[in-house]
Structure 1
C-alpha cells in the first residue's frame, strides 16, 4: 500500500499544538479503517481474495470450440479458472468449452464470412486452419500458439505387433504400409483423410516416404485403395473397428482391424480404459511421426472486445503454465518445449527402441497435403475424366527457365505425372483442340474414356495407350484457341456417357482465351451449360488456365455454370498439383 498524507500538513515549527492523546488515536484508527477498506475493495476487485460473493455478473465470457480429444482437458482448466476466480485485468473469466470435430468447423468457416458464436478455436491440427482460410471467404483467424501435441502412429493389437517384430524392429512409413497392406492377417484401418488430420498426415507421410516417380506413386495409390476399404468416418469411430481379444481376431467379423492409424493420445486414452487383452502397442516410424499440433486460434479478433481478446490470451497462458500443462499431460498429450514423458508413452503403448522421442519430421507442405487429398478423392470415388488439352500454335512457346521445353512439353510431363495417381478402376479419355483441327470442328477425340486397367488392342492396357497418346500431343502450327465450342462438345459427350457411382468430370487445359469468333459466344456457352446441367448426373467442368495469356475470369465463369471451378497457374508444371486439388474440391462439393 502506498503512502497516504492527511488533508492538512502539520503547522510550521513553533506554532504546532500537540493534540490530546484520545483525538490522535481516533484519527489514526480512522485512517487505518479507511486504508483497510480501500485495500480490501481493490483486492476483491482484482480477485486476490476468495470471499467475493460471485464473479458471474462481471466475468469476461468466452466460448471456446475444441477438438473432441482435447476438449475435456481444456474444460478442466477452464473449470479451475472459474472456481479459483483467476482474473484477467482484474476481471474473472468464464470460459465455456464445446467439443466439435475440427473438419466440421473448418468447413463451416470456409463457406461464410459471418461471425461465429465463439471467440477461440482449438483444432487438432494447423491444417484445418489452412483449409478454412483456403477459400478466402472465412472470418479472420489468428493462431496464437500451440498448447499440446501428439504424434501420429500405427497402433496394433499385441499379436499383430509381435508378428512385425515390435518393439525392436523399426519401419519407415512406406514399409509399415507395405507390411500391413500385403498381409492377409493384419487389416489396417484409419479415419477418413478428408475428415481426420491423423488420417491425412499418415497418408501424406506414406506418400513422402515412398519417394517420387510413377512406380512409387502408383504403389501409394494402390495402398490408399486398400485402406479405403476399411475407412471410418472420423477419429471418434476408428477405435470402434478394432479387433477384440489378445489374438486380434474376432470370428465372423472380417471387418475388424488389427492395426489402426492413431494418435499417441488416442492410444493413451484407449489403453487407460481398456483391459490388458485390448491393450494397443505403437510403432513410431523411423522416418519420423508427424504431429497433431493443437493451434490455439483467435476467431475474428478485431470483432472481439478488448476484454475478450485479452482474456483469450490470458487463458492460453494459463494452459501453458505448470498447472495447465500437468492437466493436459494427464490426458495423454505432450506439451510444447517439454521433455517427452516416458510414463505417458508407455501407457499409450510405446516402448524403446521404438523412436518415440525422435524430433518430428519437417512439416508436410500445403502442396503435399493437397496432392494427397486429391489422390485420396480419386482413389475412394473412382474418377471418370475426359481430359481436353489445348493444341493451338501458342503451345509451342518456350517456358521461361526451362531451356528448350515448350508449354506442350511441360504440360505433357505434368499430365503423365498426374496419370500415375489414378488406379486401374479409373476411366480417363483424351481430346485435343485448336481451330479447325478436324475439318470445321475445333476438337478431336484422341482416346475414348474407359478403364485404365482395360486391355488394349495389340497388347498392354488403356493406361499404356493413354500414356502414348499424351506423349504424342503436339501443337498445331497456326492453330488458334477454339475453347468454347470444344468445351461444349466435351461436356455433352461426358453427359451422354455418364457412369453412375463414379466422379464424372471434364478437365480442360488451355494456354489462351477463346479465339474462334465464328463459334458460340461466352454468354451463349454459359447459358447452354446451365440448361444442360443435371443435378442427378453432375459433370463439373474443371478448367485450368496455364500461363500469362489466359483469362482467369473466363475459365471461372464457364466452369461455375456446371458446378465446377476454374484455376489459373503460371507454370505448366503445376498442372499436376492443381488437377488433383481441383478433383478433390469438385468431388467434395458433389458429396456435400
Structure 2
C-alpha cells in the first residue's frame, strides 16, 4: 500500500521555509493472517478490526517514554493499539529534564513521544545521536494564555513580561518554549531586536527561578488577584470540561500562536529499530479509526491538520505564526533552557596556609569570604549548593578535602534555619581556620565524582574550584592522571563542567585551565584578589550559558 502523508501546520520546531521533519506514515503493520486490516483507498481511512490476543504468534513488548504533558494521551492510544495488534506497550511518563538520562541507560526505550520536534533535536544534538528522521505527529495542541481578569497582550514578548504570568520552565514542559518561539518570530519581523528578547527572557527566567508561583489551572481559577499562565489548549479544554463554571479565559496574542506537535521518535537500538518503526505506525493507524479519533477528541488534541476542537471548549480558530529558521529556533531555545535551569553546584574552597597572605590590607581568605557571602545571597531560591574545604590532609590522613555542607536546596530548612544561612556560617568558619598545603588534584577528582554520582537532571550541575596555589600533595594523583579520569567519566547525558577560579598570580593557571577544559568548563584567574567577586559572578554566568 502506498504512503499516506500528512502536512501539519507550523508547530514548535518547524521552520517558515517548510523545513519541518517528515511526518511519513509508512506501509501499515502486518502481523499475520489473523489480523484483519481493511483500507478504503479512496478515502484513505484505516479500519482496524478487534482481534483475539491469543491469536498472536508472539506478543512483542515495546518500551515508550512520553513527555509528561502528553503521557496520558499516549497511554490511551497505546492501550487501544494493543487491542488490535501483537504489541504490548509500556508507557512511562518522563519529565523532559530526565529524557537524556533515560535514553542513555543500559536498556533504553524503543520510542519517545516528545511534545515537539525541537525537543527531539535538542536532545539528539546534546547526546550526539544520529536519529535521521523525527517521526510522525500524533496530533497538535496550540499554546494559549489562560487567566482571570488579565488584559490581552498583542505580542508574545509582552505576554512574557506580564507580572501576572506564571510559567513552567522547559525542564517541565515545552509550553514556555513555544512562547519563546513566538517572541523570536517577532524578532524576525523587525518589531523586536535580538538583544531586547534576551533581556526579556533573562528577567522572566530570574522570576521563574525565584519561584514565581503556581501554574495549576485550579489555583489560577480561584486566585484573589489577576493571574495567568501558559498551557496547551488540550489542558485548558480538559479542565473546562471538568470545571464548566470556572472563570478562566483562554486567548493567544494578536500575532498568533505556536503548536506543540507531539512527535514520535524511533530511539531504539539498531536491533529493535524495525520493530519500533512498526509500533509507531500502529499508533498512527489507531488514530485513523473511530476509537482513535474519539480518544484524541476527549484528550483535547487537534488533528495534525490543526482543525479546531469540535465541542467549543477550546480556542476555536486560531492563527499560527510563521516561524523563523530552524537554526535560529534551536539556538534561542538552548539559551532559554540554560537561563531557566536551576543551579546545582558543589563549591570547593582552598583553606591552605597561603590564603592568609596579605592582599592589599586584607587577606586572600577575607576577600574570598566576603565575595562568597555576597554571591550566596544572590542565588535564586531554587539553587542547590554544597560546600567543601581543602588543604593537605584536611579530611584526615590521606584525604585532602572535607565536606562541610552537603548538596541541598538553599531554601531547605532544618531546625528553623535555611541551608543558605548554614552555608554562610560555614564559609565564615572555614575561611577563618587556615593551614597546610594545597591538595588540588585528589580534591578535584573526588568533587567531580560526588556530583556525578548524585547527578540531578532537573538542574545544571557543576563543580566550582577556588584556589590560590598549585598542587603540593606529593602523594596525590598527577595532573595527567586527573585529566585522564575526567575524560573517561565525561558523559553528554551528565554534563558537569568544572569551573576553576585561580586567586592571585600564585595560582597554577595552566593546570586549572587543563582541568576545566577536560570537562568543557571554564577557567578564570583573579590576578588581583580584590577581583574575586566579579570573577565569581562570571563563573556562575558561564555555567548558565554553557548548560
Task: Give the TM-score, by structure 2 length.
Answer: 0.52
Q: Please say if residues 190 and 261 of structure 1, whose CA atoms lie closer than 8 Å, have aligned partners that are also in contact.
A: yes
Q: Residue 139 of structure 1: CA displacement?
A: 8.7
Residues 220 and 304 of structure 1: is their aligned pair in 2 closer, same or farther, counting only changes over 3 Å?
Answer: closer
- Aligned-partner Cα distance in 1 for 2:131–2:201: 36
After TM superposition, give the deviation of residue 51 of structure 1 in Å.
7.9
SS in 1 for 2:170: coil
Q: 2:157 aligns with which of 174, 177, 193?
A: 174
Question: Could you list the runs of 5+ residues in structure 2 that have no partner in the other structure?
Answer: 1-31, 39-48, 348-374, 381-439, 445-460, 467-476, 486-495, 501-510, 523-538
C-alpha distance in structure 2 between counterparts of 1:113 and 1:317, whole Å: 30
Q: Indicate the residue corresponding to 2:228 in structure 1.
A: 259
Taking the aligned partners of 2:138 and 2:512, their CA distance within structure 1 comes to: 43
- Out of 507, 511, 515, which is 1:558 matched to? 515
**1:59 & 1:321 partners in 2: Cα distance?**
22
Q: In structure 2, how many angstroms separate the alpha carbons of the residues matched to 1:113 and 1:556?
A: 31
Number of aligned pairs? Answer: 360
Tell me, in whole angstroms, the C-alpha distance in 1 between the residues paired with 2:255 and 2:541: 26
Contact 1:151–1:290, Cα closer than 8 Å, also in 2: yes
SS in 1 for 2:285: helix
Greater helix fraction, Structure 1 or Structure 2: 1
| Cα distance in 1 for residues equivalent to 2:128 and 2:106 | 9
> 3-state DSSP class of the match of 1:286?
coil
Identify unmatched segments of 5+ residues in structure 1: 1-41, 86-91, 182-186, 251-256, 385-421, 428-486, 492-501, 508-522, 532-538, 544-553, 568-578
Shift of 1:377: 4.4
Measure, in 2, the Cα distance between the counterparts of 1:203 and 1:313: 32
1:340 aligns with 2:340: no
Q: Give matches, 1:197-216, under 5 Å.
A: 197-203=174-180, 205-206=182-183, 209=186, 211-212=192-193, 214=195
Deviation, structure 1 residue 566: 4.6
1:149, distance to aligned residue in structure 2 (A): 1.4
Q: What residue in structure 2 maps to residue 72 of structure 1? A: 72
Please list, as runs of the form range in 1=range in 2, the aligned pairs for 1:243-392 lying within 5 A after superposition.
Answer: 243-245=220-222, 248-249=223-224, 258-276=227-245, 278-300=246-268, 302-304=270-272, 306-307=274-275, 309-320=277-288, 324-336=292-304, 338-341=305-308, 343=310, 346-348=312-314, 350=315, 356-359=318-321, 361-362=323-324, 365-377=329-341
Say which SS state the counterpart of residue 313 (structure 2) adopts: helix
> CA contact under 8 A between 2:221 and 2:247: conserved in structure 1?
no
Deviation at 1:68, TM superposition (A): 3.7
Deviation for aligned residue 1:145: 1.6
- Is residue 504–residue 540 contact of structure 1 (8 Å, CA) maintained in 2? yes
Which among 129, 140, 147 is matched to residue 149 of structure 1?
A: 140
CA distance in 1, matches of 2:249, 2:513: 50
Change (3 A) 1:288 1:97: farther
When structure 1 is superposed on structure 2, of 366-375 and 280-289 the one drifting more is 280-289
Superposition deviation, residue 368 in structure 1? 0.8
SS, match of residue 341 in structure 1: coil
Counterpart for residue 584 of structure 1: 544
The reply to whether residue 114 of structure 1 matches residue 106 of structure 2 is: yes
- In structure 2, relative to structure 1, the CA distance for the partners of 1:45 and 1:365 (3 Å cut) is closer
- 2:63, 2:91 within 8 Å by CA — same for their partners in 1? yes
Residues 74/190 of structure 1: CA separation in 2 closer, same or farther (3 Å cut): same
Alpha-carbon separation, structure 2, partners of 1:218 and 1:339: 33
Secondary structure at the residue paired with 1:70?
helix
SS at match of 2:167: strand
- How big is each residue's C-alpha offset from its partner over 1:244-299, in whole Å with a ceiling of 9 and x where there is no partner? 43xx417xxxxxx71001111111121111141x2421221233322212111112
**Which one has more relative contact order, counting CA pairs under 8 Å at least 6 apart?**
2
**Bigger Rg, structure 1 or 2:** 1
- 1:222 and 2:203 aligned: yes
Contact 2:297 2:309 in 1 (8 A): no
How many Å apart are 1:582 and its aligned residue? 5.6
Listed as ranges, the matches of 1:515-534 within 5 Å are none
TM-score (norm 1): 0.49
Counterpart-to-counterpart distance in 2, 1:78 and 1:528 = 48
Structure 2 CA distance for aligned equivalents of residues 43 and 323 of structure 1: 23
